[in-house]
Amino acid sequence: MSKIYNHLSNLNNSNKPSYSTTSIQSHGVLLVLKEPQLTIQQVSGNTWNFLGLHPQFLLNKRLKDIINVKQFKTIKNGLKGDLEYLNPLDLSIQCRNKTLWLNGIIHRSNQLIILELEPKDIDKTYNYFGFYHLIKNPIAQMQKARTIDEICQVIVREIREITGFDRVAIYRLEADGSGGIIAEEKAENLTSFLGWHYAASDISESAKQLSLNNLLRFIPDLNYEPISLIPEINPVTQQPLDMSFSILRSVSPFYIEYLKNMGVAATMTVSLLGGQKLWGTIACYHQTPKYISYQIRTVCEFLGRAMALELGAKEDRQYLDYQLKLKSIQSTFIEAISQADNLLDVLVVDSNRLLELVGAEGAIVYLDEQLIYLGKTPNSQEIQDLIGWIGSQIEQDIFYTDSLAKLYPAAEVFKEVGSGLLVLSISKIHKYCILWFRPEILEIVKLSDDIKDSITVKTEDECKGLTPHQSFARWKETVRLTSLPWQECEIESALELRSAIVGILLRKAEELMEIKAQLEVRVTERTAELMEANNQLQYELLQRQKAEVALRQQVERERLMATISQQIRKSLNLKEILHTSVNEVQALLQADRVLVYRIWDNGSGSAIAEATAPGWLRILDIVFPEETFPEECRWRYLQGGIYALTDRDNGEVLPCLVEFLEQIQVRAKLVVPIVQQDILWGLLIAHQCSQSREWQFWEITLLQQLANQMAIAIQQSEIYQQLQEELRERKQAETALRESEMKFRSLSDCSHIGIFLVDSEGRFTYTNPRCQAICGCTFTEALGRGWEHFIHPEERQELLSRWRNAVSNNGGFVSEARYIHLESKLHFCRVQTSPLVTPEGELMGHVGTIEDITESRAIAQMKNEFISIVSHELRTPLTAIHGSLGLLANGVYDRKPQRGKQMLQIAATQTERLVRLVNDILDLGRLESGRVTLIKQSYDAAALMLQAADGMGGNAEQNNINLSVNPLNILVWADPDAIVQTLTNLISNAIKFSAPGSTIWLTAELIQNNISQETEKLTDEREIVLFSVKDRGRGIPPDKLETIFGQFQQVDASDSRQKGGTGLGLAICRSIIQQHSGKIWVESVLGEGSTFYFTLPLPPDR
């Protein structure tokens, strides 16, 4: 990885002696000339390679001997003036029969002239316009730049574009001699070194002087072989040649090693001057050797000079802008302080403004032992210790340092926030001061990890000279515990702030003194005035106290009125309102008794709320007759009249009323009506029991207002009670409705008939589970669909038309239709709907039922088919019997007794068949209806097989059939008679359809219950007994293997006539085996015979 390099730090290593040389780089030739003839005194040892002339040949030759006269005159004339304007010289030398074009650079060194020659590429010539073209854009970009950083970025970008170097960087030299990279332009694959720093000790003053003298230094190939001068000692000065201004001067080995450690193979530097000082350097680096023509180097040097001019202007402008910014902050502070009463509020109201005043990152405002922290500062204890040190060590008004720890070692612990300190003392008496803090430089300059990782390729032992890592480490050591320095304008800003604060404080102090003197005069004058006014105030105070007493009474009355009114409006509890009211009034009026008297519809009344002072009779809830308040009194009260009795003994009332008042201990009373909706609801009464009383106007007004409020409360209470009653009735109705709905839903959910509701358009609004099962949908899927949605498309339009016709007549609708289940199953359903109407007769929708009649239809069809088959089967033997007996009855065979006997035999045979058919039908009916109870028991399978074989032995012998039995001695759980009947039926069928001379096998075996699903799979894995009846008969077609177990099913319809069967035997066998939890099936190959199987379970206790 490439290594960061600082050009200035390598001009001279401070740990090495100043480097001098008597050799040059190999990309050019050096000639040392002596005036006035310009005789060659010294030459570089590579003249043969460049010029085709040996060094010894050139020594002591005159310059005009190797260049043409015109060129020589140009040089000769130029020596009279400033040599800077001669460069570069356009020279040509004849070499080996060809012209060699060279760039000549000439300068003086003591009494000698040094001429350096470099090859010139004649294909690339630069005239004035070419030079202008190269510098036009960079100059324009620099002029547009607003800051130094922007100028630096423009220069590194433009120089890299002009020269093609891998990396171009600008190093800035600080005032203390250290420096760092502030701008960079590089190839994408290189690591950025922006922000790198080096120590001031890494560059000596002599190296800086060389950079001031030689603005441009070029090394095209670090791996060059140094070319020595011949002779090494100059014959004129008798000393080594001073090559300080030589552009070909050889390079210090320390510098070469440093650059190689960085991975650099070529470099060029341009010094940037600020006035007479070195401001910085433009450094160009390349990873491979790279030659830059003198003309391009000149362009870069020119851009460096132009940049230096712009830098000076921009720095001055930036400094001026910064000063103006500080002045603006000062003005704001001064204006705010002059108008404020509290200095602290002004200083801390905007903490950023106080920090910006001196470019600090933290501050402490210390006023009368009070500390205000702004920004980044040390902690409280550290500040207290620091203030103690400041008070004991610093006397001046302002103190500043950029390395506090050097003066106050304890500051090292808070170097991250307080390496720099500026103290502004405002008042030592009042301990007013401001402390500003700046962090350590290392807290500001943080080197990125990729630069740190790319510092060193070789170890320190391998690198003999200075390495970038060592340089950066020395720089860090020099800036340790140091902050950025406080600028002069910042110091001035702080001092001006102090002057403004002190001046304003002094002015305010003077104003206070003047105000104090004025106040003293005024106090004297006012004392006399006050004495005179005191008597008047005493009088006014007495009057005011009286007014305040009256006012307090009025306020108390209003408060009471507001409290009672608020209580009346807030509460709906009438009893609570009335109780509160009489207690508050009794307390306010200091009456012995206050009550609310309720007048009932019959004229009687009672006190329903009462507040009574201790020791007086309570009359609450006592009912008084109508005579207590006669009708004429009630009429007067209804008109809004009041009654105020001051004393019952003054003759104002009738003797009878006096007696009544004495009974209830009333001496004086005040009665105010309570009228509610033009009805005299009651009375608000105040009693004075102990003595007579003059009722005041405000007391009467107060009771009238309260009576009006009570009327409102009564109305609210009555409305509330009505609402409560309505709510109670509504809740009861809702409860009844919920119960009704629950009953309906319970009935609906349990119903075997589908129930649904549709709106007036026929769309589902409710379906019960049975309806959903019939239609094959969920409740949600059915919502919004029409009830006709599930009807078979062939019937939908006709059925919908009929339904709409019924709806238009507000009638019901009943129909049967085919429904298509969502799983594509077809059902026959009966649908019935009835309209739902509001009490006003408006149609709300329809309620309907849907019943799946598929099974009942199938049963009805099967019944019809069964009746048809039975009638046919019965009619056949009856016809034969009827015909035979008819012939005999008519005497047809009277003379043919043998034929008559045959007719009687036919009738008897058909009668037996008829009996068997009827018996089989009855047996099958009883089995399938469950009316026959099978008595199961443990029975020997061998006994069942032998019993059936014995019963069918005669039949087999008559038909010349061999019956082979292989009995199995094992107990089965079965009804013996039913199983013997089953075996007999199977053996009988085998005999009927077997050829004479064939064999029928009857076997049984114990197997595991693992019969596959395809052949009537059983439900568990217990052992079972498998019976089989096998014959070699004609066999059964594959399509008949399942149907032959149905009623009246035979392989051939002629079998009924030829074999004498009824077609019910196998159906009876299947019913018997199924009731034994067994399975029965047949396996057959047409033409080869059949095998009938059935299974029986073992006893449960086995």
The CATH number of the domain holding residue 1083 is 3.30.565.10
User: Residue 690's closest CA among 614, 803, 604, 747?
Assistant: 614
Residues 295 and 184 in one domain: yes
511 assigned to some structural domain:
no
Q: Which of 816, 831, 852 is the last residue of a domain?
A: 852
Mean pLDDT of 807-816: 79
pLDDT at 1: 30
Lowest mean pLDDT among 216-225, 532-541, 785-794, 1009-1018: 1009-1018
Verify that 150 and 295 share a domain, yes or no: yes
**Domain for residue 17, yes or no?**
no
466 has a pLDDT exceeding 60: no
Residue 124, pLDDT score = 61
Q: Which of 852, 876, 893 is where one domain is finished?
A: 852
Long-range pairs, 905-913, Cβ under 8 A, ≥24:
906/880, 906/881, 907/880, 907/881, 910/877, 910/878, 910/880, 910/881, 910/884, 911/877, 911/881, 913/877, 913/1060, 913/1062
- On whether both 885 and 985 belong to a single domain, the answer is no
pLDDT surpasses 60 at 447: no
% pLDDT > 70, the chain: 80
Is 50 exceeded by the pLDDT of residue 487?
A: yes
3-state secondary structure of 262: coil
Please report whether residue 309 resides in a domain: yes
- Of 285-289, 341-345, 940-944, 1015-1019, the poorest mean pLDDT is in 1015-1019
Report the distance separating Cα 180 and Cα 175, nearest Å: 12
Are 111 and 33 spatial neighbours (Cβ–Cβ below 8 Å)? Answer: no
Kindly report, residue by residue over 349-369, the tens digit of the pLDDT. Answer: 666 777 888 888 888 888 777
Regarding whether 85 and 221 lie in a shared domain, the answer is no
pLDDT at 684 over 80: yes
Tell me what the mean pLDDT of segment 243-257 comes to. Answer: 86
Residue 219 has pLDDT above 90, yes or no: yes
**Would 371 be classed as within a structural domain?**
yes
Q: What is the CATH number of the domain that holds 259?
A: 3.30.450.40
- Pairwise pLDDT comparison (307 vs 450), residue with the higher score: 307
Most confident of 300-314, 331-345, 951-965: 951-965
| Contact status, residue 329 vs residue 359, Cβ threshold 8 Å | no
Q: Is the pLDDT of residue 865 over 60?
A: no
Shared domain for 37 and 71, answered yes or no, is yes
The residue segments making up the domain with residue 429 are: 340-446+483-505
Q: What is the pLDDT of residues 1022-1075, one digit of tens each?
A: 799 999 999 998 888 888 777 788 666 666 544 444 445 556 778 888 888 988
962 shares a domain with 1079: yes
Q: Mark whether 917 and 991 lie in a shared domain.
A: no
Whether 1091 and 961 share a structural domain: yes
- The answer to the question of residue 530 being in a domain is no
At residue 968, the pLDDT reads: 92
Q: What pLDDT shows up at residue 2?
A: 32
* pTM for this entry: 0.43
| Residues 1066, 990 within the same domain | yes
Residue 208, pLDDT above cutoff 60:
yes
Which residue, 284, 318, 352, sits at the end of a domain? 318
Same domain membership, residue 1091 and residue 947: yes
The answer to whether residue 173 sits within a structural domain is yes
Kindly state whether residue 993 falls inside one of the protein's structural domains.
yes
Per-residue model confidence (pLDDT) at position 629 = 79
Judge if 291 and 351 occupy the same domain.
no
| Least confident span in 204-213, 257-266, 448-457, 521-530 | 448-457
Whether 69 shows a pLDDT value over 70: the answer reads: yes
Structural domain total, the chain: 7
Give the CA distances from residue 362 to residues 352, 418, 422, in Å, rounded to whole numbers and listed in that order: 9, 8, 11
Distances 562 to 222, 547, 552, 710 between C-alpha atoms, Å: 104, 22, 15, 13
Highest averaged pLDDT of the listed ranges 318-332, 798-812, 932-946: 932-946
The answer on 164 and 29 residing in a single domain is no
As separate numbers, helices (DSSP H) first and strands (DSSP E) second, the chain gives 31, 36
Mean pLDDT along residues 378-383: 87
Distance CA 1065, CA 917 (A): 10
Average model confidence (pLDDT) for the chain? 79
Instruction: Out of 503-512, 515-524, 761-770, pick the least confident.
Output: 503-512
CATH number at residue 768: 3.30.450.20
